[in-house]
Amino acid sequence: MVDRICKLSPGKYITGIKNISWNDDFLEEVFPGGPFYSPVIAAEAVAQLISWLIIKSSNFSLKPVITMLDSFDITGYMIPGDQLQLTGQIESISEDSALAHGKVLVNGRSVIELNHAVCYLYPLGELDHPQKARIQFKNLYDGGKYLLTSIHNNPLPIMREKIPITTKKWVDTITEDDQPDRLRGLKNVTATEAYFNDHFPRKPVLPGVLIVASMVSLSRTLVNRLLDRHDYPEKKPVAVLLKKIKFRKFIQPGDQLYIDAEVLSFAADKSSVKAKVICNNKTAAAAFAEFIHLDYNKYRKNYPVRTT
């Protein structure tokens, strides 16, 4: 997810870049004609950047896995043609855990912020090949600076009609929908998914951000249904905050995930949802999501955030 590591101070901070292309696999839409890069996947790029900081700081002996995240703020969206500036900082570190913070910026303005990510530190050799990790780091790190580029002034892309967008499906099917304020969905985890090649070579584990993506996706579906039921079909839910994110166990190929979403509050302009993931009859992850409800004109005015 990280295209280049630009600066690194062992034990302190790291910066990098991620370019967004029309050919990217993780484009989404709230309204037709306005594709944007998945904020959850952008968060994974920051998480990977922080991972490289800890790996390098430990001389390729440790690898972090995020187990808890206080909050994940979304204040703008990223679109094809953007270059994302990624930053990560270590707030504290011990022999077996670390506390970190990260941001995604577009044109110098923060659009995503990860606050207080708690990481458990595993021996690198349990999850990955240390020599392979050294080669990957060498290929990523150039010791340069941000390659800032001028971005289009239009608030939304203008080439949508020419390039069809196929969005990722984070939930395979809805299994229970008999209550208006709750949904249950199913996600099958299969070894054929490409991300298992790197996450992790010696112990395939479903990336935590994809677990979050499944919770957000089902929560958004639930809120969409409530908007239609309350005669607001012109509005769509836009995620602005995820908080109290917790991961309790590794998810591996062959697992089935049941995702539960329940509305905590709902109004014409906003809603909040709590979600959890159950695997083998145990809670594997949980989070709270907050949405604002926008019609097309308000959405086009407010997203994505631009400084040019």
Catalytically active residues, by annotation: 199
Nearest to 72 by CA among 33, 28, 41, 95: 41
In whole angstroms, give the CA distance from residue 267 to residue 265: 7
Nearest to 234 by CA among 286, 199, 269: 269
3-state secondary structure of 268: coil
Q: Are 9 and 87 in contact (CB under 8 A)?
A: no
DSSP percent split of the chain into helix, strand, coil, nearest 5? 25, 40, 35
Structure tokens given for 85: 């500036």
Contacts for 176-181 with beta carbons within 8 Å, 24 or more apart? Answer: 180/225, 180/226, 180/229, 181/222, 181/226, 181/262, 181/263, 181/266
Question: Which of left, alpha, beta for 60 (phi over 0: left; psi -120 to 50: alpha)?
Answer: left
Which one-letter amino acid corresponds to residue 158?
I
Dihedral angle sign, alpha carbons of residues 236, 242, 245, 247 = positive
